[in-house]
Amino acid sequence: MKALVAYYSDTGNTEKLARALCEAIHFENEIKSIPEIQSADGYDIIFCGFPVQAQSVPRKAQDFIKGLPAGQKVAFFSTHGSLRGGQLPRQAFEHAIGLASKASVLGHFGCRGQVRQNIIDALMKKPEHKAWAEEALSAAGHPDSQDLADGKKFAQEMLAKMSR
């Protein structure tokens, strides 16, 4: 058994969650930032993580997801400024699932990730960003220890699903 935790992260939130997921995998595993991945072949499961950007998946993560091998078991995770479990972050997962059309998607997990105040202030002025930027005001301190514990639980659930 071999797992890859592949993540894209601009400010470190998604990387933090990726490292927590990795700790929950008790067999051979690798953790890599998406831009440094040469090949996604040869893994029994790939955990693929990204920050939600403009209600969607960042370009570099999109390209990686599109190139996942046919039949590849994949579990998505993300961090986002908007509220957990809401419609805003769900849109990005729906997009990711659509891009992974050849892969077998086992599930997804999202938690909040803090956004720097100056970025929120700037984006709040743009109508297309206002909704999530308002929610992001209360994301300070995330991902926190509860988010990371929930992420580990998610990883274990995905591993259990994989071996079924």
Interface residues with ligand FMN (CB under 6 A)?
A: 9-15, 51-55, 79-82, 88-89, 113, 115, 119, 132, 136
Q: Report, in Å, the least distance between residue 111 CB and ligand FMN.
A: 9
73 vs 108, beta carbon nearer ligand FMN:
108
For tokens 């209600």, the residue is 55
40 vs 136, beta carbon nearer ligand FMN:
136
Q: Report, in Å, the least distance between residue 76 CB and ligand FMN.
A: 14
Number of neighbours of residue 130 by Cβ within 10 angstroms: 12
Here the tokens at position 153 are 């639980």
39 vs 118, beta carbon nearer ligand FMN:
118
Which amino acid, residue 61? A
Q: Report, in Å, the least distance between residue 131 CB and ligand FMN.
A: 8
43 vs 77, beta carbon nearer ligand FMN:
77
Chain position whose Cβ is nearest to ligand FMN: 113
36 vs 41, beta carbon nearer ligand FMN:
36
Q: Report, in Å, the least distance between residue 21 CB and ligand FMN.
A: 13
Residues whose CB is less than 8 angstroms from the CB of residue 19 and which lie 6 or more positions away in sequence, other chains included: 31
Q: Report, in Å, the least distance between residue 1 CB and ligand FMN.
A: 27
Query: Can you tell me the distance from the alpha carbon of 21 to that of 5, in angstroms, rounded to the nearest whole number?
Result: 8
